Amino acid sequence: MTSPGTPGRLRRAWTTLASALGRRARPLTVVNIVMQGAIIVSGGVVRLSGSGLGCTQAPHCEVGHVTPSLEQISHHTVIEYGNRTFSALVVAVAALTAVAVWHTRKDLKWLGLVPVAGAVAQAIIGIVTVYAHLNASVVAVHMLVSTTLVWASVYLALAYRNAPRREGAPLRWWLRLQTALTAVVVVLGSLVTGSGPHSGDEAVTARLGFELEAITRVHALSVWAFVALLAYLVWRVRADRSVGPRNEVRRAWVVLAVVTLAQGAIGYTQYFTGLPAVVVAMHLGGAGALVAAQAATAYLLREA
């Protein structure tokens, strides 16, 4: 039985913890972005190394073993289990961020819950992925949820510190169109990967039913549409009044332009070099960077 004073002590302990996290909320929102982006690369390493079924069970690694057994351990097991361990860290950081935001910014408390709820959902999707034997559709959903969480995490970090927005004519609908087009680019990119040779396990061959060259061309067209819209947005904001906050706004679209061009160059490189694993991994990491940069642009280019 608990003593009469236990609930009070628990409330005080919770308040103390929440206050401590609240004082570190801003750096936590940044760390959360890094973690949400890094898990994309971590998952990519699992897929590209053929380690998707390095652990044959979920959430256990093997039958009767939570962690890999020394008798059956291999580099595939280490890579897959390492990704699972890192996923747990992502959930932990997202949870700490949610508590910090909830305690200090009531207006953002629901947005602050998105990364942790999404990270937990990712863990569940990961379990489904194992028992679906790396079904390409499930793996694609796994990737798309991660990119969505990167976008939400960047938006949360900027909103938390009330990052200064631009002064100029409204671009709200154009920015919404750009966000929607970003989603199209990422979805089509995941379909390209799901139709390619990197299944995630050496014994798994089932891929999506798209002809690889055709879906790649459609993906490339969506990227060019994204580039055209970005060029238009840059042209629209060029005449904004020169004010202090504009410096950060300018950095936002400059970074997005650089990331977009770099991602395009990596994409064409992997296509013309036969999809080498290292270049594909760079493209996956670039997808996270592109989504993060577009989220910053969507927030900062919206009029104050």
What are the structural domains of the chain? 8-162 (no CATH), 164-304 (1.20.120)
Q: Tell me how far apart the alpha carbons of residues 123 and 39 are, in angstroms, rounded to a whole number.
A: 11
Q: How far apart are CA 188 and CA 234, in angstroms?
A: 25
3-class SS at 135? Answer: coil
Residue 18: count of CB within 10 angstroms of its CB = 15
Q: Is the whole model's pTM more than 0.85, yes or no?
A: yes
Q: How far is CA 224 from the centre of its chain?
A: 22
pLDDT of 243 over the 70 cut: no
Between residues 22 and 157, the one the model is more confident about: 157
Q: Where are the beta strands (DSSP E) in 254-293?
A: none
pLDDT at 302: 86
Q: What is the pLDDT of residues 36-83, one digit of tens each?
A: 999 999 999 999 999 988 988 888 888 878 888 877 788 999 999 999
State the Cα–Cα distance between residues 9 and 146, nearest whole angstrom: 37
Give me the mean pLDDT over the 263-286 stretch: 93
Report which of 185, 269, 170, 268 is spatially closest to residue 228, judged by C-alpha positions. Answer: 185
C-alpha to C-alpha distance for 23 and 17, rounded to whole angstroms: 10
Quick one: pLDDT band at residue 4, thresholds 50, 70, 90?
A: low
Which of 272, 276, 283 has the alpha carbon at shortest distance from 190? 283
Q: What is the pLDDT of residue 219?
A: 96
How far is the C-alpha of 93 from the C-alpha of 186, rounded, in Å?
25
Give 115-156 pLDDT, tens digit per residue.
Answer: 999 999 999 999 999 999 899 999 999 999 999 999 999 999
Which residue did the predictor score with more confidence, 16 or 32? 32
